Structures are given as structure tokens and as C-alpha cells.
Structure 1
Amino acid sequence: MACKHCHDHGHSHSHSHHGHDQDADEKCCGSRPEVDEDEDDEDPSVLKRRIALSAVLLVVAIAAQRLIEVPLWAQLVIFLPSYLVVGRETLAEAVENIAEGHPFDEDFLMALATVGALLIGFVPGGKPMFAEAVFVMLFFQVGELFEGIAEDRSRKSIGELMDIRPDSANLERDGKVVSMHPDDVHPGDVIVVRPGERIPLDGRVIEGRSSLNTVELTGESAPRDVSVGSDAISGCINLSGVLRIRVSKEFGDSTASKILDLVENASGSKSKSEAFITRFARVYTPIVVFLAIAVALLPPLATGDFGANFATWLLRALTFLVVSCPCALVLSVPLTFFGGIGGASRHGILIKGSNYMEALANASTVVFDKTGTLTQGVFKVAVVHSSGLTDDELLHLAAHVEANSTHPIATALREAHAIDDCGCSVSDVQEIAGEGVVARVGGRSIAVGNARLMKRMGTTPQACHEAGGTIIHVAIDGAYAGHVHIEDIVKPDSPQAIEDLHATGVRKTVMLTGDREDVARQVASELKIDEHHANLLPQDKVASVEALLGARSKGEALAFVGDGINDAPVLARADIGIAMGAMGSDAAIEAADVVLMDDKPSKIAVAIRIARRTLAIARQNIVFAIGVKVAILALAALGLAPMWLAVFGDVGVMVICVLNATRALR
């Protein structure tokens, strides 16, 4: 059995929900026995009724004690019903844990303190404390109730976020639509998604138009329009039209499943704060128990009149025990990081563990890949310079020549000027490797390619003064007709991303790219990036990151942001690897520690702010809980802490810390 704080409110049963491991069950007690995960939590309504009944019985017992003169043993009998109604579960847990050899937990401390208070009146010189004993146990259970409400609210909030993986898919089979579990659907199958339904598996739209609600994946409230050829991401809600989607990934590899796996396993990697709390609790709790025994026995023995002073020091020891349990720390700190991970997920930022959140908070250098990270990774026509004909006519001819090419440059030309039914005939298409394409369009010879192709055609290409990008020249019947400037467009929020990073205190931003120096310089200048390196192979990127890691100060972290397969080694080498989740490769996402689901680099600054706020909340709880407990423990040893103050030092501090931890969700 786990201790009550780790058991009654779902901590020991949450493995299937958010990756809780055995270490979490060890925190309150040092070393824990095996936990029965099938055992149900106590219904909060039952606990409320027990608290209410115990409170009524306590009032009746106090009234009877004042109205009726009865022996001491009879007073104990009067108060026992109230005590047992609210405390029997705690007593049972304590006895069971003692039998299993794991006594040092919250239940043991509360049972020892309250049973001692019930019996202290029978010790020579002792004052009856029946009502105080019941009150301590009653307040303890009230604290348990409030703690459970706060934790349930946190889990419910994250649970709503996690409800993105549908349990069924509408599969087309033999001309019929059959509902089945997504595990039974495979790549190549066609599924139907109706309005209001979630997309169960990743795929590509082959029929239909609609808008998708992606807020639970990306944090963006604006719907995303999709049509034939668009990628459909699992977990999105189809808002309008019926979609037929050809599945591209197995259910377990789909985006929704990956998100769930990342968040569920996030608690497997503990932060330094959590590791400290675990070690602290294992050593702290047994030390406090033995200190309480010393407080009860040593001062009376030292005075030489053990019988006269024992009751006084026993009460101080019992008060010492009540305040001693470290559950305020061992519950609130992991809950803070779990809440921070859940809060980041709402923004479309998936952080794979609380240790990565600490690294994010300490990030002082952020290194970027260029293509697909800071830029869109898709070539687009930026500028057209024509000679002797209009820009539209030049694009019209170039697009027809490149009509059947799969090269990204050809795709950019066709997107800039769609090939329509203009009656132009295209013939004699000849592709010259490394130079371009020559074809006859409407009876004219059109050459589309680089400067070498122009020279082959006997014409001189004109220089283009546009910075960066790729220049495509066009010649008509051997005469130069103009050129098209094609470039990889910077993402709309990339400038804001760099500005926000500097505003958060990041000291250096660096861009590493395999692209040409002139292209890298132009992008770095446009985005105001501090440093850039071009013409890099994957191993060169690793070497550059190694050099930057060596130059950082102690306690600082380096983050690398990338999206391609070639970025995987660098993502793994950096202190914190950040991958683009929408367009990024599976290898990059797997190697990364943080995944941005909407590919927006501006989310990096958001992630850093969330990490720093989460870390601040965890530190607040550590300082507050340890500070209050040490103060009350000292007062208890001096006899200056009444029992109610000891109860506040345990239950009250725990509730305050847990409620503070839930702020990380927002």
C-alpha cells in the first residue's frame, strides 16, 4: 500500500495516465512496497460523509465530557467513535505498512501522534487530549480532501488535453463504411471523417474540402483549411465537409498517439529539483521519527525526574511528529512540473520530461537550422524581371516548359503561374542535367535554367541584384527574355521569434545551414541573428554545436532547433533539442527533447517562459515548505507550538503548496 497522499488521490494509480513510476511512490516513505494499481481510490463523497459524521460525533463527545463527570477511560470511550470514523483508514494503512517493513510515511506519523495524544492523559502528570487527538485526525482528513480536489482538477485539465485520440475509425471496405478500432487500419487504407469527428490517423485528403480545428495539437484557435492533396493530422476535429483520407501511418505512429506517448512518459525524466526531493524524503522522514523519540525520552532522563517530566516532553514529541511529514514537497514539486508540461502542451509545445524543462529555463544560446525551421522549406517565386514581354508572360512560358518536372524549382514556377487550357502545345522537351530544361512552346524554343544553360543557348544572362535565393533565366528563340528570383521564404513569425528570444534573456542566437553563404547571410541579416555558418554538412553542424557548448558558462544550456533527418545528430547532442512537429522528420522528432506542433519558431520563447515560471513555482514550494516546517519543528521542540500549529505545518502547508503547484497549468 502506498501512503495516503500517494494513494488516496490517485498517485499510485496514475501510471497509465501520465507515466508515474515507482519512484513517486517511494518519495513519501523512502522505500515503498509494490503498489496494487487495481485498487480503487476512495470516493471523495464518502470521505466528505466520514468527515461530517466525525465532526458531529466530536461535538457530541465534547458536550458529554463537559456535562457528565465520568472516569478517564470512559471519556476515551466517548471520543473513540469520532476518532475511528475519520481515522480508521489511516490506522489500517499504518499497521499494514509496519507489517511490510515500510513504516516511515504520513499514515504512521499521524497514527503515532494521535494515538499518543489519546493516551497521554493516562501518563502520570499528563493532561487528557482526547478532543485534540480527534481534531488532528479530522483536520488531516480535511487536508486530504482539499489536496485531492486540487490534484483531480490538475489531472482533469490535462486529461481534457489528452482526449485527442479517437477510439474508432470509419474504414472504407468493399464499397461500405465500417467502424473499427484505429489499430486495425493500416497505411494505404481509406477512411471517412464526417463533420464533428476527430481524424483518427494521419493521412492525405483524396476527396472533399473542410476546415480542421487544430487547437488541441498546436494551440492555434484559427481553423486550418484542407482540400485534396492536403495533409490531415490525427487528433484534429473536422468542422464542416466530409473528408476521404488515405492513411499514411499506423495508429501507433500517428501524431495523436505520439503526443500522448510524449506527455504520458514525460515524468520518466526527473528534474534536479524532483531528484533532490526524492533523496531528501528518504533521509529526512526516518531522521525526524528518531528525533521525536529523542525529544520524548532524553530531556526527562536528563532532569533526573523522568515520571514528572515525561508527559510534557511526550506532547512536544507528538507535536514534532505531526509537522514532520515532507509530503508537501514530494507531492507539490512533481505536480508543478507535470502541470508545466500540461500547460505547455496547450500551446502546442510538447516537453518530454521535467529535466528538459530545467534545461529550457537555463537556455542562454539558441542555435537554428535554416530550411524548414526559420524558413518555410518551400521554394516560392519572389521577383520577376522580364525584358520585351510582361512578367506574367515570362512566368507563363517558364511554367509550361517545367510542366512535367518534379524539381522544387519547377514546382515553384507552376505555383506562381498555373498551367491553364491556353492551347499552348509543349513538345521536344529536353532536360539538361545541372543546367535546366529546353522545350518548344507554341512553336517557339524556350530555355529555362541557370547561367550555363543561357550560354549554351548563345545568349548572355543578366545579373540579378536580389539578395540570396536562386536565379532562373529564360531565353526565347536564343534571345534573353528575363529571369525569375526564387527563394525559400522566411516564416512569418521568425523575426518575432528572434526578437522574443533576446527579450527573454537569451544571449546568443546562431544559424547553421548547408545553404550557400550569400543565402545564409541574407536570412541572418533579415532576422537579426547574431551569428551564422553556411555550407555545413551534418557533421559540420555537430562540430559547430560542440564549439558553442564549450564556450558556454557553467549552469547555462544550449538549445538547437531543427526539422530534418540531418538535424537528428545535432538535436541529440545539444543540451535541449527542439524539433518542428508538423513538417519535421520522424527522426528529428524522436531525437528532440521538445516538439513544436505548429512549426512556429516563436513558440520557443513561449516554452522558455513556461519553463522558467514552472521552475519558479517549484522553488517557491521548496523554500516555503522547508522554511515553515523547520520553524514549527523548532517551536515544537521548545514546547512553543500547540497541536493546531503542528497540523497547519503539515496539512496546511501541503494544501498551500499543492494549490500553488496547480498554477503551472495556466
Structure 2
Amino acid sequence: MSEERKHVYRLQGLSCTNCAAKFEKNIRDIETVEDVQLNFGASKVAIIGDASVEQLEAAGAFDGIKVYPEREKVKEERVPFWQKHENKNTIVSLFFLLCGYISTFSAGESSIVTITLFALSIFIGGFDLFKVGLNNLIRFEFDMKTLMTVAIIGAAIIGEWGEGAVVVFLFALSEALEGYSMDKARQSIRSLMDIAPDTALIKRGGSEFEVAVEDIQIGDIMIVKPGQKVAMDGEVIRGRSSINQAAITGESIPVSKEEGDEVFAGSLNEEGFLEVRVTKLAEDTTIAKIIHLVEEAQAERAPSQAFVDRFAKYYTPAIMAIAFLVAVLPPLFMGGDWQEWIYRGLAVLVVGCPCALVISTPVAIVTAIGNAAKNGVLIKGGIHLEETGRLKVVAFDKTGTLTEGKPEVTDIASVSDMSVQELLSVAASLETFSQHPLASAILRKAAAEKALLLEAHDFQSLTGKGAKASLNGTIYYIGSPALFENGPAVTEKVREAISAMQAEGKTVMLVGTDEKVKGYIAAADQVRQSSLAVLEKLTKLGIQKTVMLTGDNHAAAASIGRKLGLTDVQAELMPENKLDAIKSLRAQYGHVAMVGDGINDAPALASASVGIAMGGAGTDTALETADVALMADDLEKLPYTVALSRKTLQIIKQNIAFAFGLKLLALLLIVPGWLTLWMAVFADVGSTLIVVLNSMRLMKTRYK
């Protein structure tokens, strides 16, 4: 779609997949419209061309669809289920239906009173149905409403008024339940849209103003008081507080924020006073992107849904043909009773209604994607949800994924008369001017141990080896063992200690002078506390192989592999080598996920069946490139995502199998006359209700 001429609208009152298809077709018939994309799950429509809101509402008048521009804030009326116009009609229809059956016992089936009561039930409950169904019949458009209209009119013609009234009521009930279930599924998006406030307190020129988020500019200073929600993404420039980011990342534990830290729109400031510099416009905030991506994901058809839609296209005309043959062939060639076989043909029409089949997949997909978004996992389409449910292998990047991504000091040892505390002071003083990650690890350790920092003079970085500086008149060195090769002798005992630590994946730095090695410090990237538990859960979920793909050295990789119990470790890989490794795993196992940070691992993420990025809340790249984004910078949501996807696959298969099975059984029961017209509708409504309730179980899937 051309973005320049694209207009997006939100919809209210879009009740069923069939109505959505008809609404989309009606919009296409508007001469000034070039293209249409209707998102049933998110209840949105995007058009290219020119069409007024009035024209769009006229296209949806058959279903009472209301249309609003996407960015217009609309307060949706929460009408109780039983107070909706169509549901009121269903209740009145039920009242006349019951009165009709009471009249059957007192006045008889053929009395004018009984027929009138049943006719009122049919007319009130089926008025909207008949309008659409008859219109479709004239145009030779065969959908479920066409089937029902023909069946009800046919029942009235052959004198089965009571059966026709029951069919109308049960179909209306089925439509109401379908609308209710989709409404519940869409609430996950509505709840996301309500997370961030509509206004923020902005400080300009010494004064404070309440400003609508659409009018806030990048660089504005936003004031966030204790207990208030953050309205815009930004950077803290003053203050300190605990921020609850559960709405964005799914993390229940508040995160400490201070100057320089990033905060997200929709998060809750729990205790401190903050001044925040706005860094993104309202439409570009993380929560806005999440909403947009979730809506796009719900519009993307899963493979199973695409199959069902293709099947339904041929299924409905086939059912009409079968119903016609059942009604006509026995009376013509076998001496059957016309009324009896027409009745059975009508029953075939009713039981063949594909309601349960059509709704079997979209309700499950929409519910699962909405549930995941609320738990801090962004799944960008039904196809990715299904692929995640089929995973056999999960490959991980090491740094920042299985590990913390920053080294920590693990060992400090003196091999001279210098104490460990003095050795740490010298090392930290030397590293004060260095930008190396290992320098940061030593400085953090020194701060934790309250080690004294000495004044360093004549600092010099020794590229690739270390650094040197003068401390209290003595020149000290810190660096890799290679730095001391041509310097003071390194004893055999120290060499053995270095070799042992390197075998564990640690990086060793020696500290010394021109005359003597004073001691050594070892540092290593620490395994995330959650990594081992995550890998164990994945194995229990049926993941056959867990692989680490890293550019780090073999010793460090092997050490972490042993700690975590990974089934395979591949080290010293360039990005192209990671890509080859993923291709090899896909060739061998079929369904492979790659978990990384969404930046360095882009080729491997793209090549995997499912690319899973961590820390999506902080990086636009992760949100844009990955198929699945774990919004928190933690792996703990990965088992939940796999479990949710597998449960969704199970439910979709159950829904399709149940819908098919029940239709087939009902068709077999119709031929010998064991299934009445109202029982056929009851079977159809029952199957739709069971499919919906089965799909809604996904709302109960929780992160553990």
C-alpha cells in the first residue's frame, strides 16, 4: 500500500468474519477506493484512495459498523451484553418462540395463533439475517447467512414454522456469542491503548502546563510525580525513582531509574519525583509501536487460517449442492416423500453452516497474541506463533543473551608482599582512564570493596595488551600475560594458575612493575541467573537441542556450555558462520529459533524459522527485525512463549478437528432422518460455542 495515500480507520460493531469480508467487498465497490486491507482481529481498515467516513459507514450499514479515524480518541461505549440491540431482538424472539410452543400444546401446531407466534419469532430474530441473506441470494453470493435464509424460508414453506423459529433463535445466539468472543479477544489491544496517559505535565520557561501527548515535542521537559504514569518515552535528567515497567516488559519487579536512564510511556512512577527529557513523539513511543505491531500481527493470517479460508470458499457451494441433491434425488428416483426429503435437504444446509470452522483459527490467534503482549512478549503474526509452537531447536547468542554481557571480577591473588586490597587499588587506579569492559569490571569491584584510588600520572594505553602509569613515583603495568613476556619473570605456579583460569573461560590480567609481577586479577562474563532454569524448562517443553553460537573463544564458550548443560556449543564464529550454522540446523531439524539482541545477529535471526530478539523495549531494531521480541532484557519469558505457542497450535488443531468431525457426524445422521432441523442448528451453535470457549482458554495461559 502507498503510505502517502493510505488512510486508516478504527471500527466499532464489526461482529463476524463473514461480515468483515462483506464490508471489505462493499468498500472495494466504492469507485474512488483503489485498495482495501481489513484487519478483523484489531477491528481496523486501511484504504488507498478517497472515501469519506459516511461512505465507509454506508458500506457497513448492514452490520451497523461505525468508522473513526485511527488517531481520533474515541470513548467506546461499554454496552452490557444483554442490552445490545441485536441481543434484545434475540431475547424477544425467544419469548415468542416459547409462546409458540406453549400454543402448540393448547391450540395445536396448525392453528393460526401458533403459526403467528412462530412467524413473529422468525421475523424479529431473523430480520437482519434475512436482509443480508436475501441480498446475497439475489447476487449469487453463498455464505452462512445465505444458507440460513434458504433453510428458514424452506422450513416455513413446508409448514415447519416451529423448526424455523428455533433455527433463527439459535443462529442469532451463535452470532451474539461469536461477537462477544471477538470483543473479549480485542480487549487485550484496548487495554494496551489505555496504558499511557493522554496528557503530561510539561515544564516550559519556568511554568508547568498540562499538554496533550500529541502536542508534546522532542526535547520537552516532562514532570512525573510519585504515583503518576509516564506519558512519553524519555531520558531522566533529574531525580531518582523506582519505575514499574510491567505494562511494557512484563517484569513485575520495579526497576530503579536515575539520571541518564531511559523510561517508557505507560510505565508507573512508584515513589520519586522525576524530570524527563522527551526523546520520542507520541506515535513513536515504545507502547505505540507495540500496539501497532500487535494489530498488524493479528491481521496476518496464520497458515492454518489461510487453509481454512481457502477451504471455506469451496465448502459453502459444495454444501448447497449436497443439500439440493439430498432434497431432489430420493423423491425423483427412489419414490421418496418430497416434504420429508426437502426437510432433510434443509437440515443439510443448516448443519453445513461453516461458523465453527471459520472462527476456529482467528479467535485462537488473536487471543494468544493479545495475551503475549500483556505479558511482555511481542509476536509479530500468526505464522510466527505457529512456527514457535513447532520448534525443535533453539540457538542462542552468548554475550548478553545467556550471559549478562558485562564481565565481573572473579579472582584476585597477590604473588608478592602486596596485599589483595593494595593490588586492587593499584589495578583500579591504572584502569581509571581506560574504556575497556575489563577496566569497568575492575572499577566496579574496587568501588564495592571501597579500595583507595591513587593519583595516576603519565597514563599510557598499550594497544591490545594493557596499560601503564606512574603511581607514587613507581611505574605499574596491567594487562594480558603477553604484556609481561619480555618483562619480569612469571613463575611456573602463576602460569599454571593462569592456564587453569583460562580453561574456565576467564580473562586473566597481570599487575606488576618493571622488576616483578605483583599479582593477577581474573574476570569473566557472568551467566545470567535465569539461564539454567530457562534451558531446563525448554527441555521439558520438548525442545530437542539447545545450541550456543558465539564469537568468543572455545575455552570460554565450553565453560559456559558445561555450566548450562547445552547440547552443543559452537565458538569463534563470525556472523556469516552463525548464518551457516542456522541453515545447517534447519536442514537437519526443520524448525529452529535463534535468540539474540536483534542487531549483531541479524543474518542468523532472519535465517531462523523464528528470530527472537531480547530487550525489545530498549531497541527499535529488535522490534523491527525480529519475529518475536522479548520486551524485557531477560530470557525468562522464552519458555512461556514456547508453551503459549504450543498450546495455541493444540487448540487450533482441536478446533478444526472438532468442527470437521461434528459436521461429518451430523451429515451422516441427517440421511436416515435421525437429525431434525433444530437439532442441526443446535449442533452448529454448540460447535461454534465450544470452539470459542476452547480458544478463550488461551487467555488463562500465564507466565510462570
**Match 1:448 to one of 437, 461, 478:** 478
Matched, 1:470 2:507: yes
> Do the aligned partners of residues 204 and 441 (structure 1) sit closer, same or farther apart at CA in structure 2, a change above 3 Å counting?
farther
1:256-335 to structure 2, matched below 5 A, reads: 256-303=287-334, 309-335=337-363
Identify the residue that residue 285 of structure 2 maps to in structure 1: 254
Per-residue deviation, 1:188: 4.4
**Match 1:425 to one of 435, 455, 473:** 455
1:589-604 to structure 2, matched below 5 A, reads: 589-604=623-638
Question: Relative contact order, CA 8 A, sep 6+: which one is greater?
Answer: 1
Counterpart secondary structure, 1:429: strand
- Contact kept, 8 Å, 1:498 with 1:602, in 2: the verdict is no
* Aligned counterparts of 1:220 and 1:439: Cα–Cα separation in 2: 44
- Contact kept, 8 Å, 1:19 with 1:267, in 2: the verdict is no
* Aligned counterparts of 1:153 and 1:608: Cα–Cα separation in 2: 23
- Contact kept, 8 Å, 1:235 with 1:255, in 2: the verdict is no
Identify the residue that residue 414 of structure 1 maps to in structure 2: 443
1:116-195 to structure 2, matched below 5 A, reads: 116-121=154-159, 129-185=160-216, 187-195=218-226
Per-residue deviation, 1:57: 2.9
> Do the aligned partners of residues 402 and 70 (structure 1) sit closer, same or farther apart at CA in structure 2, a change above 3 Å counting?
closer
Counterpart secondary structure, 1:196: coil
Matched, 1:96 2:122: no
Matched, 1:235 2:266: yes
Q: Indicate the larger mover: 330-339 or 65-74.
A: 65-74
Q: Which amino acid aligns with 2:604?
A: V
**Match 1:39 to one of 65, 69, 79:** 65
Identify the residue that residue 651 of structure 1 maps to in structure 2: 685
> Do the aligned partners of residues 522 and 70 (structure 1) sit closer, same or farther apart at CA in structure 2, a change above 3 Å counting?
closer
Counterpart secondary structure, 2:578: helix
Identify the residue that residue 648 of structure 2 maps to in structure 1: 614
- Contact kept, 8 Å, 1:562 with 1:588, in 2: the verdict is no
Counterpart secondary structure, 1:440: strand
Q: Which amino acid aligns with 2:634?
A: K
Q: Indicate the larger mover: 614-623 or 631-640.
A: 631-640
Matched, 1:207 2:238: yes
* Aligned counterparts of 1:251 and 1:212: Cα–Cα separation in 2: 20
Matched, 1:437 2:467: yes
> Do the aligned partners of residues 445 and 600 (structure 1) sit closer, same or farther apart at CA in structure 2, a change above 3 Å counting?
same
Per-residue deviation, 1:455: 4.4
* Aligned counterparts of 1:109 and 1:199: Cα–Cα separation in 2: 52
Q: Deviations over 1:400-435 (max 9, x none)?
A: 222232222222222112398968433222222222
Per-residue deviation, 1:278: 0.6
**Match 2:126 to one of 87, 108, 115:** 87
TM-score w.r.t. the length of structure 2 is 0.84
Q: Which amino acid aligns with 1:193?
A: V
Identify the residue that residue 419 of structure 2 maps to in structure 1: 390
**Match 1:114 to one of 143, 152, 161:** 152
* Aligned counterparts of 1:296 and 1:482: Cα–Cα separation in 2: 96
- Contact kept, 8 Å, 1:18 with 1:266, in 2: the verdict is no
Identify the residue that residue 571 of structure 2 maps to in structure 1: 534
- Contact kept, 8 Å, 2:598 with 2:626, in 1: the verdict is no
Identify the residue that residue 126 of structure 1 maps to in structure 2: none
* Aligned counterparts of 1:55 and 1:412: Cα–Cα separation in 2: 74
Identify the residue that residue 557 of structure 2 maps to in structure 1: 520
Q: Which amino acid aligns with 1:287?
A: A
* Aligned counterparts of 2:508 and 2:521: Cα–Cα separation in 1: 6
Per-residue deviation, 1:20: 6.5
Q: Which amino acid aligns with 1:39?
A: I
Per-residue deviation, 1:492: 0.7
Q: Indicate the larger mover: 539-548 or 180-189.
A: 180-189
Identify the residue that residue 500 of structure 1 maps to in structure 2: 537
Counterpart secondary structure, 2:458: strand
* Aligned counterparts of 1:390 and 1:545: Cα–Cα separation in 2: 49
Per-residue deviation, 1:163: 3.4
Identify the residue that residue 125 of structure 1 maps to in structure 2: none
* Aligned counterparts of 1:198 and 1:621: Cα–Cα separation in 2: 40
Identify the residue that residue 358 of structure 1 maps to in structure 2: 386
* Aligned counterparts of 1:506 and 1:389: Cα–Cα separation in 2: 51
* Aligned counterparts of 1:11 and 1:474: Cα–Cα separation in 2: 77
- Contact kept, 8 Å, 1:563 with 1:584, in 2: the verdict is no
> 5+ residue gaps in structure 1?
23-32, 122-128
Q: Which amino acid aligns with 1:592?
A: A
Counterpart secondary structure, 1:191: strand
Identity %: 35
* Aligned counterparts of 2:508 and 2:201: Cα–Cα separation in 1: 47
* Aligned counterparts of 1:157 and 1:187: Cα–Cα separation in 2: 29
Per-residue deviation, 1:216: 2.4
* Aligned counterparts of 1:506 and 1:606: Cα–Cα separation in 2: 13
Q: Indicate the larger mover: 477-486 or 64-73.
A: 64-73
**Match 1:549 to one of 586, 590, 611:** 586
> Do the aligned partners of residues 142 and 70 (structure 1) sit closer, same or farther apart at CA in structure 2, a change above 3 Å counting?
closer
- Contact kept, 8 Å, 2:298 with 2:382, in 1: the verdict is yes
Identify the residue that residue 197 of structure 1 maps to in structure 2: 228
Q: Deviations over 1:149-194 (max 9, x none)?
A: 3332232245324533443343333233334344554554432222
Q: Deviations over 1:42-67 (max 9, x none)?
A: 96412332223223333444555665
Q: Indicate the larger mover: 254-263 or 39-48.
A: 39-48
> Do the aligned partners of residues 198 and 77 (structure 1) sit closer, same or farther apart at CA in structure 2, a change above 3 Å counting?
same
> Do the aligned partners of residues 536 and 107 (structure 1) sit closer, same or farther apart at CA in structure 2, a change above 3 Å counting?
same
> 5+ residue gaps in structure 2?
1-10, 25-37, 47-57, 68-76
Counterpart secondary structure, 2:632: coil
Counterpart secondary structure, 1:211: strand
Q: Which amino acid aligns with 1:544?
A: A
> Do the aligned partners of residues 70 and 407 (structure 1) sit closer, same or farther apart at CA in structure 2, a change above 3 Å counting?
closer
- Contact kept, 8 Å, 2:40 with 2:299, in 1: the verdict is no
Matched, 1:628 2:689: no
> Do the aligned partners of residues 8 and 287 (structure 1) sit closer, same or farther apart at CA in structure 2, a change above 3 Å counting?
closer
Q: Which amino acid aligns with 2:423?
A: L
* Aligned counterparts of 2:333 and 2:371: Cα–Cα separation in 1: 55
TM-score w.r.t. the length of structure 1 is 0.88
Per-residue deviation, 1:582: 4.5
> Do the aligned partners of residues 534 and 79 (structure 1) sit closer, same or farther apart at CA in structure 2, a change above 3 Å counting?
closer
Counterpart secondary structure, 2:581: helix
Q: Deviations over 1:98-118 (max 9, x none)?
A: 45x363222222221112111
